[in-house]
Structure 1
Amino acid sequence: MTDTDTERNESSAGGGDTPAAALERIVDPVVAVAGGTVTCVNAAAADAFDTHTDVSDRPAASVLDTVWEQLEAEIEETAIGTVRTVSLEDDRFDARIHRGDDGATITFDHDDTSHVRDRAIKDRAIDEAPIGVTLSDPSREDNPLIYVNDAYERLTGYTSEEVVGQNCRFLQGEDSDPEAIREMREAIDEQRPVTVELKNYRKDGEEFWNEVTIAPVRDDDGEVTNYVGFQNDVTARKQAQFELERHKEKLQEERAELERVLERVEGLVQDVTAAVAGATSRTDLEDAVCDRIAAERAYEGVWIGERSPATSSIEARTSAGTTPEPIEIDDGHPASVALERGGVAVDRVDGTTVAAIPLAYSGVEYGVLTVRTTEGHDVDERDEVILSALTRAVASGINARETSRMLATDAVVAVELELVDRNVAPVALSAAADCELEYRRSVHRTDDETASLYTATDASMDELEAAAAELEGVELRPIVERDEECLVELTTDESLVEWLSERGAVVRSITAEDGRTRLTLEVPRSANVRDVVEAVEERYPETDVRSFQQRERADETRQEFAANLEDELTDRQLAALQRAYLGGYFEWPRPTTGEELAQSMGVSRPTFHEHLRTAEAKLCRAFFGE
């Protein structure tokens, strides 16, 4: 409790009450004594002890008779400023002794059994309450405490003798909230209840959070006679509250950091994607990517390198912010480890964190991207995810540039392979149907599926369909059956032609017979031909390399003419033209009808003829136009 400027004259020598008396004022016999002499009695006491009210200076023993001897001893045992309840040998009364500086006031309670029991229960309830209970006397200077219960003693570590007579502010300290203290002071000045939470200090100096409630106690006339206080230790709750607030602040900081990271990542990904899409060559692409990543504050150097078979090392193709020396393939550097493992590798190199990620697309290796971080920045899981996503985009872009260069280059290596793996559809079908298959072309359907057209000899369409039905992962669609051969469409889970194209190789021919397939590829001389061949050997065991042959392409090969024409044709127009030609539609007599070809495409006959006529017109323009 705090100071109050309100002062009141004490109405008795004692100046204080028990908790029950403060809460419930009862008119009982009252006798004031000082030094063994009666100084005052009220009318109720005069009636009770059969004396007149003017008994000043009379010995207490002559007024109180036999009970004085017991009361005198109890008064001596009562501390000044406190209250003591006494069970008298006189059956009529119990007594409460109010000890003051100059004497004592004795209040006699009639021995009404129910009243005594109720008061005893109230006193015991207050004494044994689980929270601290205090009473103060605002009529005395500085509003001191006149009562504390056991829970208060346990809460604060102070005994009743140590705190009675003091204002309760002694529990406050340097970290007690001034605003809460001011709020209590104002409530006492305005004689109204108040509840605050503030930091207090136990006797041993330990801090605790105290929920303090202070309320005025009024008499029958509405005058404030005391203040009752309740103290509750809410330290655990406050700590949980502070922890929750810290957690919220941490989440807010993490959310803000995440938003900054996402903004940075979004910008980085967009810029790298733009570099990949806008570069006209592999070199331009790699230069732009290194420059953009090196512009990030987290990285001080970026480079892209590739294996050099001649030196057995990894050599830089391009770099930004650093000039790396060649790295031995087996020296444990993150770049070499990343290529060996096929995944992200992070390590400390010369006191700086270095991360390396392979550049690979569809199993084809295009090198390794290596970043050196700035001082104090480590590569965490989030960085690894970002860099891995970037390298996938870069590798895809390099693959597209290399494939375009391969199609445009005149210097190629022709590779002839022999495959016996039954996972290759023509190998499996030629063995199952005892026939010969010759690859014609591949068709990209509108559902993004690739199908390959083959002509088959030495087997009927029924035999081919029956054999394909027994093969897992192979779907055969009949196109047309002629006297000497059948035209069929093969669809597999993954097209061999498309898989090789993604690795920079162009399929020139596929011939299958007796469970063996001859495959002829063209790979640019500038590409890593060995990587392509090794990829085929790894995917299809027992692959046999028949020949390597370097050659120059003619000014415009038949394949290039066809490729240029394909650029002019839609997928449907190309499919109609291919099926018409390979199905013998242009021969006479026709071995197949337009209706049959339309059914093989899943369209109506008029639609088929519309696609075919449009394709024929474009073909004529390719031959006869300028």
Structure 2
Amino acid sequence: MSVTQEGTVRVLAVLEAGRREEVVEVLEGDGLRVQPAGSTTEALSTLSERPFDAVICSLSSDDGDDLSLLREIRTFDEDIPVVVLTEDARVGEAFAAGASDCVPLVADGERYDRLPARLRSVVAWREEPGDRSRAAIDEELKQRAIDEAPVGITISDPDLPDNPMVYVNESYTEMTGYDRSEALGRNCRFLQGTGSDPETVAAMREAIAAEEPVSVELVNYRKDGSSFWNRVDIAPIHDETGEVSHFVGFQTDITARKRAEAAARRYATAASRESERLERLIDRTEVLLQDVTSVLVGAETREEIETGVCERLVEATPYAAAWIGDSTIASSVIVPRVRAGAKADAFSSLTIDADDPEAADPTARAASTRRVQIARGETAADLHPGSSGLAESFRAMAAIPIAHRETLYGVLNVYAEDADALDETEEAVLSLVGRAVGAAVSAFESRRVLLGSGIVELEIGIEDPSIGLLGLAAEADCRVGYEGSIYRDDGSVIAFVTVDPDGEGIEPAAAELADIHRIDRIAVHEGTGLYELRCPSGTLLTHVADAGGSIRRLEADGESLELVVEVADRPAARSLFTSLQGTYSAVELLGSRERERLPSTRAGFLDSLTERLTERQETALRTAYLAGFFEWPHAVSGDELAATMDVSRSTFHQHLRAAQRKLVGAVLDPEFESAPN
């Protein structure tokens, strides 16, 4: 009985015990009928007793006589399909011994998944459906296969003059753009043109003349004149007498591959050049950074850092001069601060306006873009347009921002008398120098701040009515004073302000201002009201805090707001002032002064205490103190303070007691700083 008659494939599985159970389970799970056998003798006996559609066995590389079973089965039955499982590369030996199919074992979990389909296939191919399939490959099907093949196929007749093409398929016409009527009767060389390599064409011609196969790659041209790369494989076709009757050609458009190869060659060339550039860059960087690092490590002041770097650059490189400068707090004019080089005196009176991000001056662009700027000119005046007195021999310069994170500390400028001395490699090196110097200056300034050796105080006037505190003073016709603030985790601020004179119009006026989300009156004393404001992020208070400033005084009347802020250093002061100018209108620097920070432990005490207070605890403590809750009799009740915080009275007192305990602990407990929260 055949598989087509019963619909079920009957399989004899001759497998070792460790594999037999799993294979049988897979085959029967797919609907096959399986009879297991454990030895050659049992297998041959079973085959003689009943009919099977196929046999499955294994081929193990550990058994020296692993082909004996396969040979015995073939001796017994020459026609029955035998599928062999193998884990090695001995497929050829298995087929030579009579295997119908070999199934390599794959990873666990899919080891036998393909067996049912393979068994059904070998059985079906052995019987009538397979015979009909083979018979169906007639001349008509072969012709359709050639006509519709995905590669260009041509046939030429060498018995006709000039060996013209007598057949082209559809892919050929699509690839070349020529119709069959335009291509037939012509030699295939009509696709060649000026870009076709003569040596390749000659090799193809010689092979055809010698009646030998040939494969070439050359440029051909379509009907519309566009070029493409064509892989041409030509082979002679012999007739029954052995004579060459025709030539068949296979033509494949390989333009994409050729373009990819050309791109790869370009990339390889570029990579080689880049490698050479990087080697020069590494050597150059190593020497220069060693010199600069020695300066940065040994310097004790910022001036020593900047002077030493300028001197090393002039000594160890082809630079003729170098200087470092920065702008004042309220002005964008950059002026040289330290100089080095025999021709550096020319920069003593140089001033550069860095206010315009698209300025022609490279130093101004470096300050605004925070990127190295390189300039070249036929004269020195071309390097700094509008400036005079520079050494006439300068032909190139680089302006390098000295910055660390968000802070610009100045601009380093170097000059060369050779215009080619400054290229992309030099730009990369100088960028590293700028970052190294910026980091060193930042570390020096941070150390100076930590040691409390200096501080910059700014007095700033602002007349922008969009600021909530200024708008409140104008709308309510009062003076607003700043009493402190608490910065919340979500970026908003709880601010405490005094309003003089207090009145019923304060809260309605505040409700109209975008910078104030909520206002609560805490207490009134002698006509002056104490209020708690809830302000969103992005207001003046958070703007100052984000820039590293500390508000010492803030007062607003109906026309202007005066702000006194302390910052760590000049760059921070300039950054804050510039930021305020970019955010608000009518911002004016009323005064600034640098001074030594007075020795005091109060700031450290407050910082350590604030770190231990939660936001709610600090709010409760500050609100209670400012409202007079600690006075006797109480100026305000706990219920009233709880209402301002939107909490219950018990919760308010819980926060207040926790804050008081931490405050008393900070005063009385010497282990406070190391104690847990």
Q: Does 1:216 align with 2:237?
A: yes
Deviation at 1:229, TM superposition (A): 1.4
Count of aligned pairs: 443
CA distance, structure 2, for counterparts of residue 463 and residue 344 of structure 1: 55
Q: Does 1:335 align with 2:335?
A: no
TM-score (norm 1): 0.52
CA distance, structure 2, for counterparts of residue 395 and residue 597 of structure 1: 49
The residue type equivalent to 2:618 in the other structure is L
TM-score (norm 2): 0.48
Task: Answer yes or no: is the 8 Å Cα contact 2:400–2:431 preserved in 1.
Answer: no
- Matched residue, 1:345: 373
Task: Tell me which of 470, 492, 507 is aligned to 1:427.
Answer: 470
1:20-169 matched pairs, under 5 angstroms: 133-135=156-158, 148-149=163-164, 155-156=188-189
The residue type equivalent to 1:148 in the other structure is N
RMSD: 6.2
Q: Does 1:196 align with 2:203?
A: no
CA distance, structure 2, for counterparts of residue 208 and residue 340 of structure 1: 51
Residues 330 and 545 (structure 1 numbering): CA distance in 2 closer, same or farther, change over 3 Å? closer
Residues 463 and 624 (structure 1 numbering): CA distance in 2 closer, same or farther, change over 3 Å? same
Q: Does 1:454 align with 2:497?
A: yes
The residue type equivalent to 1:510 in the other structure is L
1:181-260 matched pairs, under 5 angstroms: 196-198=215-217, 211-219=232-240, 223-230=241-248, 237-250=253-266
- Matched residue, 1:556: 600
Task: Answer yes or no: is the 8 Å Cα contact 2:153–2:249 preserved in 1.
Answer: no
CA distance, structure 2, for counterparts of residue 396 and residue 464 of structure 1: 48
Task: Tell me which of 513, 517, 524 is aligned to 2:557.
Answer: 513
Which structure would you say has the larger RCO, counting Cα contacts within 8 Å and 6 or more residues apart? 1
CA distance, structure 2, for counterparts of residue 552 and residue 376 of structure 1: 44
CA distance, structure 1, for counterparts of residue 233 and residue 530 of structure 2: 98
CA distance, structure 1, for counterparts of residue 400 and residue 561 of structure 2: 39
Task: Answer yes or no: is the 8 Å Cα contact 2:478–2:558 preserved in 1.
Answer: yes
CA distance, structure 2, for counterparts of residue 467 and residue 283 of structure 1: 50
Residues 518 and 216 (structure 1 numbering): CA distance in 2 closer, same or farther, change over 3 Å? closer
Residues 594 and 388 (structure 1 numbering): CA distance in 2 closer, same or farther, change over 3 Å? farther
Instruction: For residue 600 of structure 2, give the secondary structure of its aligned residue in structure 1.
Output: coil
Task: Answer yes or no: is the 8 Å Cα contact 1:354–1:371 preserved in 2.
Answer: yes
Task: Answer yes or no: is the 8 Å Cα contact 2:397–2:415 preserved in 1.
Answer: yes
The residue type equivalent to 1:247 in the other structure is A
Deviations 1:240-261 (A, max 9, x none): 5422322355467779999999
Between Structure 1 and Structure 2, the one with more strand by share is 1
Deviations 1:23-77 (A, max 9, x none): xxxxxxxxxxxxxxxxxxxxxxxxxxxxxxxxxxxxxxxxxxxxxxxxxxxxxxx
Residues 563 and 201 (structure 1 numbering): CA distance in 2 closer, same or farther, change over 3 Å? closer
- Matched residue, 1:578: 622
1:182-581 matched pairs, under 5 angstroms: 196-198=215-217, 211-219=232-240, 223-230=241-248, 237-250=253-266, 283=302, 305-307=324-326, 314-315=335-336, 327=347, 328-330=350-352, 334-336=362-364, 338-339=366-367, 345-348=373-376, 350=394, 354-357=398-401, 359=403, 366-370=409-413, 378-379=423-424, 402=445, 405=448, 409=452, 416-460=459-503, 463-478=505-520, 480-482=522-524, 484-500=528-544, 505-522=549-566, 541-542=585-586, 554-556=598-600, 561-563=605-607, 565-581=609-625
Deviation at 1:439, TM superposition (A): 0.7
Instruction: For residue 618 of structure 1, give the secondary structure of its aligned residue in structure 2.
Output: helix
CA distance, structure 1, for counterparts of residue 239 and residue 477 of structure 2: 114
Please say which structure displays the higher CA radius of gyration: 1
Task: Answer yes or no: is the 8 Å Cα contact 1:425–1:492 preserved in 2.
Answer: no
CA distance, structure 2, for counterparts of residue 255 and residue 574 of structure 1: 60
The residue type equivalent to 2:522 in the other structure is V
Task: Answer yes or no: is the 8 Å Cα contact 1:474–1:493 preserved in 2.
Answer: no
Structure 1: gaps of 5 or more residues: 1-128, 137-144, 159-170, 189-193
Instruction: For residue 338 of structure 1, give the secondary structure of its aligned residue in structure 2.
Output: helix
Deviations 1:553-604 (A, max 9, x none): 6532866654454345344432332122123332344454545545544666
CA distance, structure 1, for counterparts of residue 318 and residue 617 of structure 2: 51
Task: Answer yes or no: is the 8 Å Cα contact 1:199–1:210 preserved in 2.
Answer: yes
Instruction: For residue 158 of structure 2, give the secondary structure of its aligned residue in structure 1.
Output: strand
Deviation at 1:474, TM superposition (A): 3.3
Instruction: For residue 196 of structure 1, give the secondary structure of its aligned residue in structure 2.
Output: strand
The residue type equivalent to 1:586 in the other structure is F
Residues 390 and 565 (structure 1 numbering): CA distance in 2 closer, same or farther, change over 3 Å? farther
